[in-house]
């Protein structure tokens, strides 16, 4: 069970990293400070974390992860929409690069 425990710990770390970046972007916005770059970074971090965590959870479930009886199959399918919807992650990277004057 140690491998699964470590996998879940890594998933929690990934989620928390995305959460903290999102909180920081929200804080900047609430202070009426420029936050375009941070919002774009938060969107990428959150959607990529979603995909990674859903994929790892499906792997932990094995073949059962694909069965309709388990919620993980829905989470795994839905996670793929994040990097595409509300501005693709590639567009977010373009925004970040522009904000960095690249």
64: its two tokens: 């059962």
Per residue in 31-62, pLDDT (tens digit) is: 999 999 999 999 999 999 999 999 999 999 98
Give the Cα separation of 58 and 98 in Å (integer): 36
Q: Tokens for 2, please give them.
A: 């140690």
- Each residue of 8-18: pLDDT tens digit? 999 999 999 99
By CB neighbour count within 10 A (0-12 exposed, 13-18 middle, 19+ buried), where does 41 fall?
Answer: buried
Query: Which residues, other chains included, contact 66 with Cβ-Cβ below 8 Å and sequence gap of 6+?
Result: 58, 73
The continuous run of DSSP H or E covering 4 comes out as helix 2-30
Topology, domain 2-99: Butyryl-CoA Dehydrogenase, subunit A; domain 3 (1.20.140)
What's the pTM value of the predicted model, to 2 decimals?
0.88
């Amino acid at each position: 069970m140690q491998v699964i425990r470590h996998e879940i710990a890594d998933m929690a770390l990934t989620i928390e990293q995305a959460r903290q970046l999102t909180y920081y972007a929200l804080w900047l916005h609430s202070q009426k400070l420029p936050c375009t770059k941070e919002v774009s970074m938060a969107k990428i971090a959150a959607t990529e974390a979603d995909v990674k965590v859903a994929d790892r959870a499906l792997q932990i479930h094995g073949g059962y992860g694909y069965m309709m009886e388990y919620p993980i199959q829905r989470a795994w399918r839905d996670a793929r929409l994040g990097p595409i919807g509300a501005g693709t992650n590639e567009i977010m990277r373009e925004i970040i690069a522009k904000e960095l004057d690249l």
